[in-house]
């Protein structure tokens, strides 16, 4: 990918990630399931697209900037520490697991969602100086399987279209 | 040509599902609350890792916590719950009632933990 195109695409993906994480804050999900930290992880769709379409470096950058900018626009330093620990752990796990041929986008997404929740609970336990908060983790992990599948479905759709529209592309998605 | 990304759910993905569920079960077992509360149980409020207040679990009372987001802690018939939380999420109030030792209500915005401990807050008395 050319540098200019890379820059433009990164910028678009970053703003999309910011918009999605803002949208997610408006969803009253806690009313359905009152579990602290429970969310769909819509911004993870963007991370997956960046990771599979542009590579690990771009994905890292987009996640870091998303966390930074999201807390600048509203949230503050505590929110930043939470999201950056979760985000960085998640993108690390996803970048590694994307290299493993066993996993498709779906497996990578589930592992990423689980890592995100684990990272946030870790950050919370350090900030609050307690281990009791780990009591929420089993539920968050179980739900991350479902949210991971959902975000992977969305990301897979986006990636398919990106591959068809790529110049010199029309690469068919492999079955295995 | 660049290798096409794997976009369909494949057998190996079950490995991800199973490992996350296994981790979930493992953490769940590690966090299982202990035995039933005894008469000696107490309710402890911990702010930022430091003890803030302590009440007996068998004594009915209400306590108004004045933090950055004030809330009310209710203790009645061996159960503890939070009402009137001023914070937007009110996760602590949604947690519901707790009654067994090692279970807790956590309020992140206040950095507050409400814990039932098996015995008094004094772990060890040195004479």
Cα–Cα dist B1/A173, whole Å: 13
The structure tokens listed for B67 are 């933090």
DSSP lists the bridge partners of residue B65 as: B71
- Asked if the C-beta of B18 comes within 8 angstroms of chain A's C-beta atoms, the answer is no
> What's the pTM value of the predicted model, to 2 decimals?
0.74
Cβ-nearest to A174 among B6, B27, B108: B6
The phi, psi pair for B54, rounded to 5°, reads: -145, 135
Which residues on B lie below 8 Å from A110 (Cβ)? 13, 16-17, 20
Sheet holding B79-83, edge to edge: B61-65, B71-76, B79-83
Place of tokens 């804050």: A25
DSSP state, residue B100: S
Which residues on A lie below 8 Å from B116 (Cβ)? none
DSSP state, residue B87: S
DSSP state, residue A134: G
- Chain A residue whose CA is closest to B94: A34
DSSP lists the bridge partners of residue B82 as: B73
Q: Tell me, what's the ipTM?
A: 0.84
A103, B6: Cβ pair inside 8 Å? yes
One pLDDT digit (tens) per residue for chain A, 176 residues: 688 989 999 999 999 999 998 898 888 787 777 777 788 999 999 999 999 999 999 999 999 999 999 888 877 888 888 889 999 999 999 999 999 999 999 999 999 999 999 999 999 889 888 777 888 899 999 999 999 999 999 999 999 998 887 665 555 555 54
């Amino acid at each position: 990918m050319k540098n200019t195109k890379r820059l433009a695409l990164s910028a678009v993906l970053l703003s999309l990630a910011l918009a999605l994480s803002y949208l997610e804050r408006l969803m009253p999900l806690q009313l359905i399931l009152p579990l602290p930290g429970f969310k769909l992880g819509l911004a993870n769709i963007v991370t997956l697209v960046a990771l599979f379409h542009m590579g690990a470096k771009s994905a890292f950058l987009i996640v870091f900037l998303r966390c930074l900018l999201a807390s600048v626009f509203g949230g503050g330093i505590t929110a930043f520490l939470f999201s950056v620990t979760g985000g960085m752990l998640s993108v690390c796990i996803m970048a590694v697991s994307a290299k493993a041929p066993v996993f498709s986008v779906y497996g990578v997404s589930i592992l990423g969602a689980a890592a995100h929740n684990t990272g946030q609970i870790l950050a919370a336990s350090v900030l609050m100086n307690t281990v009791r908060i780990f009591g929420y983790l089993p539920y968050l992990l179980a739900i991350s399987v479902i949210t991971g599948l959902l975000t992977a479905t969305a990301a897979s759709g986006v990636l398919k279209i990106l591959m068809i529209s790529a110049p010199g592309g029309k690469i068919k998605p492999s079955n295995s | 040509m660049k290798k096409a990304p794997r976009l369909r759910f494949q057998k190996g993905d079950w490995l991800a599902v199973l490992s996350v569920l296994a981790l979930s079960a493992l953490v769940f077992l590690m966090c299982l609350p202990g035995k039933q509360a005894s008469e000696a149980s107490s309710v402890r409020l911990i702010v930022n890792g430091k003890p803030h207040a302590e009440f007996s679990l068998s004594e009915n009372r209400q306590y108004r916590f004045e933090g950055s987001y004030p809330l009310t802690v209710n203790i009645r018939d061996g159960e503890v719950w939070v009402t009137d939380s001023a914070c937007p999420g009110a996760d602590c109030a949604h947690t519901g009632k707790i009654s067994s030792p090692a279970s807790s209500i956590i309020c992140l915005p206040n950095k507050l933990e409400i814990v039932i401990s098996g015995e008094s807050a004094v772990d060890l008395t040195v004479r």
